[in-house]
Every structure is written in structure tokens, then in C-alpha cells.
Amino acid sequence: MLSRFFIPKWVRYHNRPQPNPKRLYHNIEGYFPLELKDIIEGLQQFKTENPVVSIVIPAYNEEHDLLKTLSSLAALKPKYPTELIVANNNSTDGTQAILDICGVKSVFEKRQGISYARQAGLEAAKGTYILSADADSIYPNDWGNRFIEVLINHPEVACIYGRYSFIPHNGSALTRIGLALHELLAEFAFNLRPKHLECVNVMGFNFAYRKADALDIGGFKHNLNRAVTQRSEDGWMALELSKLGAVKLVHTKNRVWTSDRRLMNDGSLWAAFTNRIRRYLKNMFSQPQTEISR
């Protein structure tokens, strides 16, 4: 339990400052810092023509975090042939430069919005199973293996997901303690929800499903009005998948560490904390169509 209040060493390693992609892009070809060479070499494992698994990441102006995510994925130890696809959603910064330098397969999606980017990645994927990730998250080296094992061995499961923790943007240990308390509150609320509402707990940066199932239900929902639906593209996908089979949580070895900017959209950690308390209390036992997914 106490370990939840501190950032693990392996997360700190991937979260270290990364080379500036704009400077690197103009360097002599092949001349990169040693740590970037390690990332490029590690990402070669995703060069496969017949993947069983596709890791799909949407990206919009992610030059400050993308290399950290790629660093963690380069250290991944997948048990199944895996490809990596990043859907670039009109980035105007060094996002595409990073992808090109690192040799990452990318698709360009000109329709603005994360649902369009996720859909573009889904359609480009060759794998039977989709691992959904984000460009500002850091993944453990065995991430996804248990997800895929469950989907392979349990056809009654349509969607599988894991827990997450937040990385403080200011690096403060005190802020991390506050974030840990927020996470514990969220998980407590999640555990109180009835089983048929488990789809509400799914986050887009840490879940998996079968490509065929996602296409059968029409893919990601676009132009969702959150004031009406109270969910975004990942929550809606999980809701629709729950109509095909069970939604299952994997407790171990799949905790992802992600940027706290999702919380900072509320203005402060305290505002995020109190807003979520109100939403959890209001929506804990509501029907899936109106349940909040954040």
C-alpha cells in the first residue's frame, strides 16, 4: 500500500528528460544520444508483418511526453507478435519527427478529435487484439500480456482493463501523495459499483479488446456530447463492448502511470478531487448511459 505513494524507480527511469526532437531531426543521420539509440533499438521488436497484437496510440502535439512513452514500450516484453501504431491527429509540433526518428509506424488522421485518431489506428491495425494506449503514459515491461491471455482463453470476455496512477507534473512528492489518495478514492468507488456497470471504470490508455468486436459495433463513437452522454470515446467503446461480453479488471502487472494533466483540467488537484467525489456519489449506481467515465 505504501508503495502507491511514491513513483517507482522504473517509472522515474522512463520519465527522465528526453532529447529535443526538433534539434535531433536536424542532426547528422544516425547520430543520436545513446539513450535514444536504445529506444530505437528496442522499438524494432514491433516490426512484424503478422502481428497477433496491435498497440494503438492516438497522438496530438505530444512531443514533450511521447519519447517517454516510447521508452517504456521499447522495454516491453510481449509474449505475442506485436506491432505498434501511432495515429497522428494533426500534430503541429515535433510529434511526427519523433515517430520518424524512432521508426514507429504512424497513420495521419486529419479529422480532429481523439475518437477519430483511435478509429484510424483501429482500422490500420493488423492484429487480432488491440491494446489501447496513450502518448503521455508509461507502461511496465510486462504490460498487456495478461490482457491478451484472458482474451485468448476466455471468449466470454469482450473488454479487459487495468488500474492506473498519476505522475505529478511538478515532480513533487507531496503532490504524488495527494494523487495517490485520489486514486484510492476512485478505486474504492469503482469497487462499489455493480458488476454490470464495470464498463464505466475503463480508461483509454489501459484496456484491450478484439478488433473484430470493435468493428462489429461500429468502432469509436464520434462527436459525443458529454453533457448528455456523460462519457467519452473510451467509455462508450467499453459500454458497447459490454453488450458482447464481460468487462474484466486485471489487478496485477498492468498498472500504468500516466500524466496528471487529466486532473489538472479541473484547475487544481483539490478541484479534481472534490469534483470527482460529487460525481462518484451522484453516479455510483446510475445506468451506464448516463454514467460518468472519467
> Does residue 58 have a pLDDT over 70?
yes
User: What is the structure's pLDDT at 293?
Assistant: 33
Which candidate, 146, 178, 175, 173, places its Cα nearest to that of 162? 146
Is the Cβ–Cβ distance between 205 and 44 less than 8 Å?
no
Least confident of 18-22, 77-81, 250-254: 18-22
Answer yes or no: is pLDDT of 146 > 80: yes
Check whether 35 has a pLDDT greater than 90: no
> What was the pLDDT predicted at 228?
37
Q: In the CATH scheme, what architecture does the domain 2-290 have?
A: Alpha-Beta Complex (3.90)
- Interatomic CA distance for residues 156 and 166, integer angstroms: 31
Question: For the residues 45-55, what does the mean pLDDT come to?
Answer: 97
Q: How sure is the predictor about 270, in pLDDT bands with cuts at 50, 70 and 90?
A: low
4-8, 58-62, 211-215, 227-231: segment of lowest average pLDDT: 227-231
Identity of the highest mean pLDDT range in 35-44, 119-128, 170-179, 257-266: 119-128
* Class of residue 245 by CB neighbours under 10 A (exposed 0-12, middle 13-18, buried 19+): middle
> What digits encode the pLDDT tens for the residues 169-227?
877 877 889 888 878 877 777 777 666 677 778 999 999 999 999 999 999 998 866 54
Express each pLDDT in 103-138 by its tens digit. 999 999 999 999 999 999 999 999 999 999 999 999
pLDDT at 154: 97
- The mean pLDDT of the chain is 84
Q: What is the pLDDT of residue 181?
A: 87
Split at pLDDT 50, 70, 90, the class of 269 is low
Q: Is a pLDDT exceeding 60 seen at residue 291?
A: no
Confidence of residue 11 (pLDDT cuts 50, 70, 90): very high
User: Average pLDDT in the 32-47 region?
Assistant: 85
Determine how β-strand 82-88 pairs with β-strand 105-108. Answer: parallel
Q: What is the pLDDT of residue 3?
A: 73
